[in-house]
Amino acid sequence: MKFLLFFLILTIGMTSSFGQSDEYQNSPTSKGTFLLGAGSNFGFLSQNVTINDPFFGERDIQKETSFSVSPRAGYFIIDNLVTGLQVRYRSNKLDFENGGETKTSSILAQSFARYYFLEDNIRPIVYASIGVGSSSTETDSKNRENLFGYEAGVGLVFLFSKHFSVDFTIGYNNLKTSPKDSDFEVETSGVVSAIGFSIYL
């Protein structure tokens, strides 16, 4: 959390050196604007993972590699505040200390909110998302699980025109996976970084 606070302070400091452009007097983040976009972590994920298993107890994961993509659509309900829906597809591979591995693919439907600061070409943001979904896990057999996940963080939006931006974000992510009719639960949490784009209509 200290790292996220430092990042937000840094981004605000960076944007203070940029003057406001006349091109954005009619702001792309004004009330009534529609947002379309997508983001991906492109394989960058740093996670601490612990499995709480009623049969085998607590087990630590040595390594996780992950890829995700999140198309989204939203609407600015007031100036600088957009809310909407996003669908997050995620592919994970967990490598255990004992040499085993687990492959998981998941789809998560989430509501999200994002707030933009300042009226410059480079704008800090804060964001949050929460939702539910399902996943398929492959080990020695194939199983389906229920998902609950949320994420919150900060970022920078680079506006290249009134209708297009490239977005960089970093945040805290938490995902709980639970098979149906079972006490077994996997909780994954950690810091995730992503790059994406947004279109403003």
Is 22 inside a domain boundary? Answer: no
Which residue has better confidence, 148 or 186? 148
**pLDDT, position 167:** 96
Q: How many independent structural domains does the chain possess? A: 1
182 and 47 in contact (C-beta within 8 Å)?
Answer: no
Structural domain contains residue 53: yes
d(CA 142, CA 87): 23
The rounded distance, in Å, linking the Cα atoms of 106 and 90 is 5
The amino acid sitting at 111 is: S
| Residue with more model confidence, 27 or 48 | 27
Q: Which stretch of 21-25, 73-77, 113-117 has the lowest confidence by average pLDDT?
A: 21-25
Tell me if 181 is assigned to some domain: yes
pLDDT over 70, % of the chain: 73
Range of the domain at 78: 2-14+32-200
Residue 76 CA to residue 114 CA, distance in Å, equals: 9
Q: Which two tokens stand for residue 66?
A: 């992950």
| C-beta neighbour count of 166 within 10 angstroms | 14
> At 149, which CATH number?
2.40.160.20
Looking at the domain assignment, is residue 27 inside a domain?
Answer: no
Across residues 122-148, what is the average pLDDT? 88
Decide: 191 and 170 in contact? Cβ < 8 Å: yes
In a domain, 139, yes or no: yes
Confidence class for position 105, pLDDT limits 50, 70, 90: confident
pLDDT single digits (tens) 44-61: 555 555 666 666 566 555
pLDDT score, position 13? 45
Q: How many CA atoms lie within 13 A of 24 on its CB side?
A: 24
Under the banding of pLDDT at 50, 70 and 90, the label for residue 122 is: very high
Q: Is residue 20 part of a domain?
A: no
Residue with tokens 């990042």: 7
Residue 24 lies in a domain: no
Residue 20 has pLDDT above 60, yes or no: no
Least confident interval from 17-21, 57-61, 107-111: 17-21
Q: What average pLDDT is seen over the chain? A: 80
What is the per-residue pLDDT for 92?
77
